[in-house]
Chains A and B, each alone.
Chain A
Amino acid sequence: MRVTGRTFLAGGISAALALTLGLFAAAPAHADTVLTLVAADYGTGPKDSSQIYWQKIADDFHAANPSITVKVQTVNWNDFDTKIQTMVQNRQYPDITEGDYFSNYAQEGLLYKVSDVMTDPSNLMPAFTKLGSYEGAQYGMPFTTSSRTLFYNKKLFAEAGIAAAPKTWDELMTDAGKITAKGHIGYGMPLGPEEAQAETLLWLLGNGGGYQTADGKWAINSPQNVETLEFMTKLVKAGDTEPNPGTKNRAAILEQFAQGQIGMVNGITTLLPIIKTAGALTDADWGTAPITGKAGPLDSTLGVCDFMAAFKTDGSKQEAIKKFVDFALADQYQIAFSEEYNLLPGTVSGAAAFSKLDPALAPFMAALPKAVQYPSDTVWAQVKTQIQQQIGTAIGPDPKSVLDSLQATAEKGE
């Protein structure tokens, strides 16, 4: 019986082999080029999933270039970085990514230079050239951009008897206190792992701090930053925020703001469709204002850019990638994306065309060129991960030691 079993197994294997070989034999001599695209999902559910957006481009592209097939895979924002990094760690490189870009992949020689995979790199928004570059060469192609601003709930402001949006931290704390006293959440402070690095930086900027000094030295544990975290702790301790900000993610906080439960949040334009979907606030119920600082509002906000990047893998797909990148960055798709998610385009021509269509977003676009950006160092990937995991614990009696350990991570490098 056993022998029979083994024979059967052997037979099965050879049958499978034959089948596989048969499949290869059946394929045309010039096999289709298959590109794998891994993109972050900007949607809030199946209806507005980025899968739909990219699949449309992939289908259009395939219709125009029948010999190239683009396989689209979208990944939840929370998992995007980890997913890409795991793929890289396992040497299962995607061909094209769209989402966060990290210069360490460029450092390791894994990426194509932009000039290799795009016909007209000068059409990429110049404000983000440095962020997408490593040692002078650009690897990341700005795909979608955004700038941050303070959103506030006018309904709750009126209920608490507040006339105008706060300009300084002290005003913010007073206003948040009044809103909290009415049984709502005064200020939403998402310091959970999802995007703690953004919320933190917006606060640090308010006190003249940041992750780095103007000349690019790490300064996470600077005295101003310690002072900033102390103020944030004071705000949390007073009960003016949601409880335990270190465990609350941005998505949940924005959702709660849209439901009318939070007085103020630092948000992005993507909040607009969330507010619309939730249906609790009308357009007259909320407003935006510059982000508060210690002594007055910020004159430059945080500009965030998500990039496309092309992995080299075995180097055989460069032409196909170039065709696809040129195709996907066309104005019509840039505008479609911006309209779908209320974000701003990443190309110059896309931005020009979009400003005409949607004047409401023009001020956000005007703020981009002078916006503060994340560090472009290769160690930023690790620093960011550590900030996401640890910064919540800096809200407490000893912010300095947490900032010290983040500074050590940045200086240790890899």
Chain B
Amino acid sequence: MSASRLRASSFAPLLWVGPAMALIAVVVLWPVIIMIRTAFQHISPDGFILGSAGWRNFHYLWQEPDLGGILIRTVIWVIVVVAATMLISLAMAQLFNQKFPGRRVARWALIAPWAASVMMTSIVFRWALDPNNGVINVFLHDIGYLNRFNSDASDWLGSPGTAFAWMMVVAVFVSIPFATYALLAGLQGIPTDIYEAARVDGAGAWRTYRTITLPLLRPAFVVALLINVINVFNSFPIIWEMTRGGPGHQTSTTTTFMYQLKQSYIGESAAMSVLNFGLVMIVVLLYLRATAKRREDI
């Protein structure tokens, strides 16, 4: 083999990997670089670069009186929504794995909240919770729980506590289908002979679930969990459509807060974006560690 041919063949792999690498560079790396650069620039609200800002954008961000509450709320948002989603989905997957009449239709129906636009779902819930004539309030009024329309009790989205709780309900509602399907796929991948062996050995239902189903479900569970965490963390339409983060920023998470900052303070918004990016990276690293550990287990 001549030297030139050797050189040519060593370039060949690059030809195959090249497009993918270029795609990653343009779609993933480039925006990250721009984001970090923007975080250090002084930019007018209309997008004109007025020079370097040093660390000032981050400084302004730390000084936002609402930032602490927003960060805490974001953590609560992710943990509660994901935990509730995964628990309910475990039960749902188990249910849909059983044979029962109408299972096929029920499985289709489960897709609905997933297939519907999240923004649409959020708007439907916002109207259903309207303090004056929302269908949920009308129902609560009819069963005697609610005394009066246009009262604090009927204005679920008006006060931060109840608004946030309802938004979590919506977030869980739209997250369940995917998690359930991921877990259902996992359940169907577990060989039936293991269950037979367990039954022969006299294992009870709970013990079978704990020692056979759960461990074998782990890969599907971890994937569903990670995708959920990232989805829920980035969730924008639910909060935006239901409360716009208001009153004030009292129902904002870091994602909606970042968007609101962008309106007036682009640099500071980019700084918030960098912080968000860091938080997502932490989650991804935890995931990588979890999966690496599993490989060692095997």
Please report A residues at the B interface, Cβ cutoff 8 Å: 82, 85, 88-91, 104-105, 108, 110, 183, 185, 192-193, 239, 242-244, 246-248, 256, 261, 381-382, 385-386, 389-390, 392-393, 402, 405, 414
Q: Is B131 part of the binding interface, using a Cβ–Cβ cutoff of 8 Å?
A: yes
- A89-B266, A192-B246 in contact; A261/B150 too (CB < 8 A)? yes
Decide yes or no: A243 and B158 within 8 Å by CB, A256-B132, A389-B260, A390-B248 being known contacts. yes
From B47, B65, B131, B263, contact of A91 by CB (8 A):
B47
The 8 closest A-B pairs by CB, nearest first: A244-B158, A89-B47, A393-B248, A246-B247, A243-B155, A382-B264, A392-B247, A243-B152
Known interface pairs A247-B247, A248-B158; 16 further A-B residue pairs with C-beta atoms within 8 A, sorted by A's residue number: A82-B263, A88-B47, A89-B46, A89-B47, A104-B46, A110-B46, A193-B246, A242-B150, A242-B155, A243-B131, A243-B154, A381-B45, A381-B264, A389-B260, A392-B247, A392-B248
Is B45 in contact with A414, judged by CB distance below 8 angstroms? yes
Q: What is the bound-complex CA distance between A116 and B107, given in angstroms? A: 65
Query: What are 14 A-B residue pairs whose CB atoms fall within 8 Å in the complex?
Result: A89-B46, A90-B47, A104-B44, A108-B44, A193-B244, A239-B151, A243-B150, A243-B151, A243-B154, A243-B158, A261-B150, A381-B45, A390-B248, A405-B65
B158→A261 contact, CB < 8 A: no
Distance between Cα atoms of A248 and B154 in the complex (Å): 14
Q: Does B59 lie at the interface of the complex (its beta carbon under 8 Å from any beta carbon of A)?
A: no
**B260 and A244 within 8 A (CB):** no
Interface extent on B, as a size class?
20 to 34
How distant is the Cα of A246 from the Cα of B152 in the complex, in angstroms? 13
Known: A82-B263, A382-B264. A414 touches B44 (CB 8 A): yes
- The secondary structure that dominates the B interface is loop
- Taken residue by residue from 142 to 159, chain B's Cβ proximity to chain A (1 for < 8 Å, 0 otherwise) reads as 000000101110110111
Q: How far apart sit A90 and B154, CA to CA, in the bound complex (Å)? A: 41
Q: List chain B residues, Cβ under 8 A from A239.
A: 151
Instruction: Give the interface centre of B46, B243, B250, B263 by most chain A CB atoms within 10 Å.
Output: B46
B279 CB to closest chain A CB, in angstroms?
23
Interface residue? B48 (CB, 8 A): yes
Task: Name the distance in Å between B152's Cβ and chain A's nearest Cβ.
Answer: 5
Chain A residue numbers with a CB within 8 Å of B244 are: 193
Cα(A328)–Cα(B264), bound, Å? 32
B114 → chain A closest CB, angstroms: 27
Closest to B245 in A: A389
Give chain B interface residues in 241-276, CB to chain A under 8 Å.
Answer: 243-250, 260, 263-266
Q: Contacts of A247 on B, CB cut-off 8 Å? A: 155, 157-158, 243, 246-247
Bound complex: CA A381 to CA B205 (Å): 64
Which residue of the partner chain B has the closest CB to A180? B150
